[in-house]
């Protein structure tokens, strides 16, 4: 007896295909397309990275945002198993589940936000040897689907990337300070990379201006290398100025050598040219006429400018 004809077999083929599409990947090691991103809960830094403090902390937590092509059956007790892996090994797709898994979560949908994931465990299960090493360590985020909560018939449901940003920036330098009225403009340049201070990308700088009389320390930044302003200072008070570099994820580098306290780190009130002229003993009265002071105005302006430069040099 011959088999079904082509016209008869097409509906059967469509039904079989539909059944396969509806089954949520029960074949061992079958990989579904999905993504997962992680954000450390206690930081305002960009998603997908953790700094040294967060890496080493036993209390820092992350939130994983999961998107998969799998529609779990909640009533059946389906679960997600969270894990991490080195980028060299990647997320396991077949065989037995890898040893570096650490948390099972009841699956509530194909898109799910999973909170309270320990950041330090994310590092250790991916083989991050120490959180104080000089270089960043990239890892893979792995989410496995466990139908009915069983490790039989599991599959990789989603994967993503995460970076432990562990490098710190080198010690910056202060190349000059310009006093202003109630403020100091601090010129900062990045430091030279060393064996242990390697972070140079997306580094920002903060300056600190501490008055000789104590009290509140004024800070400027964070900002890029160049002139960073400490404002709200007291005129006539000499300040000690330092600068610190911070990496993209918030790792602080060594503090710069201090500048001041001296005349260049002492804010000065703004003086008009007329104030400078009178302070230097000028007796000509002010006015706008073409005679008297009016005729002397250009000369007085030049004298005042030179006096300001002489006092601040």
Same domain, 120 and 192: no
CATH number at residue 45: 2.60.40
Which pLDDT value is given to residue 301? 45
Q: How many domains does the structure of the chain reveal?
A: 3
Which pLDDT value is given to residue 272? 59
Which pLDDT value is given to residue 94? 86
What is the pTM assigned to this prediction?
Answer: 0.71
The residue from 135, 164, 193 where one domain ends is 164
Same domain, 131 and 228: no
* Within a domain: 119: yes
Question: Which candidate, 122, 156, 130, places its Cα nearest to that of 30?
Answer: 156
Same domain, 27 and 142: yes
Same domain, 94 and 189: no
* Within a domain: 294: yes
pLDDT, tens digit, 9 for 90 and up, residues 67-112: 999 999 988 999 999 999 999 999 999 888 887 788 899 999 999 9
Same domain, 136 and 220: no
* Within a domain: 2: no
Query: Can you give the residue range of the structural domain that contains 108?
Result: 11-164
Same domain, 177 and 232: yes
Question: Which candidate, 266, 285, 278, places its Cα nearest to that of 303?
Answer: 278
Which pLDDT value is given to residue 286? 56
The residue from 140, 164, 188 where one domain ends is 164
Which pLDDT value is given to residue 281? 72
Same domain, 104 and 73: yes
Same domain, 70 and 193: no
* Within a domain: 107: yes
The residue from 104, 138, 164 where one domain ends is 164
Same domain, 252 and 277: no
Which pLDDT value is given to residue 288? 46
**Ranges of residues in the chain whose predicted pLDDT is under 50:** 1, 6, 9-29, 287-295, 297-313
CATH number at residue 225: 2.60.40.10
Which pLDDT value is given to residue 219? 86
């Amino acid at each position: 007896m011959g088999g079904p004809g082509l016209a008869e077999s097409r509906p059967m083929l469509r039904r079989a295909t539909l059944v396969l599409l509806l089954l949520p990947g029960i074949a061992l090691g079958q990989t579904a397309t999905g993504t997962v991103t992680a954000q450390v809960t206690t930081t305002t830094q960009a998603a997908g990275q953790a700094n040294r403090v967060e890496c080493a902390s036993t209390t820092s937590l992350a939130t994983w945002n999961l998107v998969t092509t799998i529609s779990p059956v909640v009533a059946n007790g389906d679960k997600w198993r969270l894990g991490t892996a080195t980028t060299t090994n990647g997320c396991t797709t077949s065989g037995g589940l890898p040893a570096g898994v650490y948390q099972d979560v009841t699956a509530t949908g194909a898109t799910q936000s999973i909170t309270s994931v320990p950041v330090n465990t994310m590092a250790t299960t991916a083989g991050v040897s120490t959180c104080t090493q000089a270089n960043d360590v990239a890892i893979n985020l792995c989410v496995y689907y466990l139908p009915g909560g069983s490790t039989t018939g599991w599959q990789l449901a989603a994967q993503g990337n995460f970076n432990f940003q562990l490098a710190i920036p080198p010690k910056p330098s202060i190349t000059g300070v310009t006093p202003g009225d109630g403020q100091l403009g601090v010129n900062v340049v990045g430091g030279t990379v060393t064996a242990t201070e390697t972070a140079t990308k997306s580094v920002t700088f903060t300056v600190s201006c501490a008055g000789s009389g104590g009290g509140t320390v004024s800070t400027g930044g964070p900002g890029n290398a160049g002139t960073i302003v400490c404002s709200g200072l007291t005129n006539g008070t000499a300040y000690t100025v330092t600068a610190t570099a911070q990496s993209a994820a918030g790792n602080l580098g060594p503090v710069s050598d201090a500048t001041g306290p001296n005349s260049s780190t002492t804010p000065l009130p703004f003086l008009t040219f007329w104030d400078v002229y009178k302070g230097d003993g000028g007796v000509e009265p002010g006015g706008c006429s073409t005679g008297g002071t009016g005729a002397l105005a250009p000369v007085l302006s030049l004298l005042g400018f030179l006096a300001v430069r002489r006092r601040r040099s």
